[in-house]
């Protein structure tokens, strides 16, 4: 297996990773538009922040020759990995504090509450 | 090169979709969420553009943009929730963010 074969394998792997990352980014952005309330939209945005970003940046890692580039890409992934849940937490808490959950969440509780009582007895 | 261009176009389309929510969002939280997603996608767009132009130094700018995006989003969220970016005297028991 010569260096050219390795290049082809790395290119194919990079293609696959970046294509799936772009798919997740587009799907998450579509979910941000289509989902009905703020909390489900946060779920879709989390899809963009973790899988979309992560897969595209890992796909870029396979294309770089220098080691420092890989380190920088890893730093970006690591940073977004920690800041995205923090942002979502702050936003969800602010939305809850503003009384945003009143529209959709009670329906879920009504369907779940009898099942829990059956399981308990 | 083709792969980077395709990824850049996909990221741009996703940014456009997120910006639609930022303009039409019914509440301020929807707008903050959409702008945060747009900023996160901008980080990737800068990185992909750096690879497209064979200038990996753009990654430094992408890293900085990720930092600024996080600080800005948390600051705006805190301002919306507390009405101030410092310590809110009457909501001290609710934490920092």
Residues 62-101 of A with CB under 8 A from B: 63-64, 66, 69, 72-73, 75-76, 79-80, 83-84, 86-87, 89-91, 93-95, 97-98, 100
On whether any CB of chain B is under 8 Å from the CB of A18, the answer is yes
User: Pick from A25, A44, A47, A48: which is nearest to A35 by CA?
Assistant: A44
On whether any CB of chain B is under 8 Å from the CB of A48, the answer is yes
Chain A residues in contact with B12 by the CB 8 A cut-off are: none
A39 within some domain? yes
C-alpha distances (whole Å) from A101 to each of A29, A38, B26, B28 are 22, 9, 14, 15
Domain count along chain A: 1
Domain with A25, as residue range(s), is 3-101
Global pTM?
0.84
A7 within some domain? yes
Distance separating alpha carbons of residues B45 and A55, to the nearest angstrom: 13
pLDDT digits (tens, 9 = 90+) for B21-64: 999 978 889 999 999 999 999 999 999 999 999 888 899 999 99
A115 within some domain? no
Sketch the domain layout of chain B as residue ranges.
Answer: 1-9+31-80
- Contact call for A75 and B48, based on CB within 8 A: no
pLDDT digits (tens, 9 = 90+) for A43-76: 999 889 889 999 999 999 998 888 899 999 999 9
């Amino acid at each position: 297996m010569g260096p050219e074969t390795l290049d082809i394998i790395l290119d194919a792997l990079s293609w696959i990773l970046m294509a799936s990352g772009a798919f997740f980014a587009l799907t998450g952005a579509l979910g941000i538009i289509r989902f009905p309330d703020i909390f489900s939209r946060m779920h879709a945005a989390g899809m963009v922040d973790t899988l979309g970003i992560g897969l595209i940046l890992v796909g870029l890692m396979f294309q770089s020759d220098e080691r420092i580039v890989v380190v920088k890409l890893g730093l970006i992934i690591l940073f977004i990995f920690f800041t995205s849940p923090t942002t979502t937490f702050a936003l969800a808490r602010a939305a809850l504090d503003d009384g945003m959950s009143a529209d959709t969440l009670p329906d879920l509780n009504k369907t779940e509450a009898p099942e829990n009582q059956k399981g308990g007895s | 090169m083709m792969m980077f261009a395709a990824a850049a176009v996909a990221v741009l389309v996703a940014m456009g979709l997120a910006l639609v929510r930022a303009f039409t969002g019914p509440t301020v939280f929807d707008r903050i969420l959409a702008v945060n997603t747009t900023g996160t996608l901008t980080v990737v767009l800068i990185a992909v553009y750096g690879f497209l132009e064979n200038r990996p130094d753009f990654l430094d700018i992408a890293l900085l943009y990720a930092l600024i995006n996080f600080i800005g989003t948390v600051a705006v969220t805190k301002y919306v929730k507390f009405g101030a970016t410092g310590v809110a005297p009457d909501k001290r028991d609710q934490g920092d963010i």
